[in-house]
Amino acid sequence: MLINLSFIILLLVLSPCSLLVKAQHQTNSLILDTCKKTPNYALCVSTLRSNPHSSTADVAGLGLILVGAVKAKSTAGLKTISELSRANPALKKRLSQCMEDYKMILSAFIPEAEQAIGGDPKFAEDGMNGIADVTAQCVKSLQGVRAPLPSTNKLVHDLSLVTVSIIRTML
Domain boundaries, the chain: 19-168
Mean pLDDT score of the chain, rounded to an integer? 84
Report the helix count and the strand count for the chain, using DSSP H and E.
Answer: 7, 0
Q: Which fold has domain 19-168?
A: Butyryl-CoA Dehydrogenase, subunit A; domain 3 (1.20.140)
For residue 144, name the pLDDT band (cuts at 50, 70, 90).
confident
CA–CA gap between residue 135 and residue 145 (Å, rounded) = 15
Going by C-beta distance under 8 Å and a sequence separation of 6 or more, which residues neighbour residue 13? none
Cα 49 to chain centroid, rounded: 11
DSSP annotation string for 75-140: HHHHHHHHHHHHH-GGGHHHHHHHHHHHHHIIIIIHHHHHHHHTS-HHHHHHHHHHHHHHHHHHHH
CA–CA gap between residue 48 and residue 131 (Å, rounded) = 19
For residue 1, name the pLDDT band (cuts at 50, 70, 90).
low
- pTM, entire model: 0.82
Tens of pLDDT, residue by residue over 102-143, are 999 999 999 999 988 878 888 899 999 999 999 988 888 877
User: Does the pLDDT value for residue 23 go beyond 70?
Assistant: no
Mean pLDDT of 96-100: 92
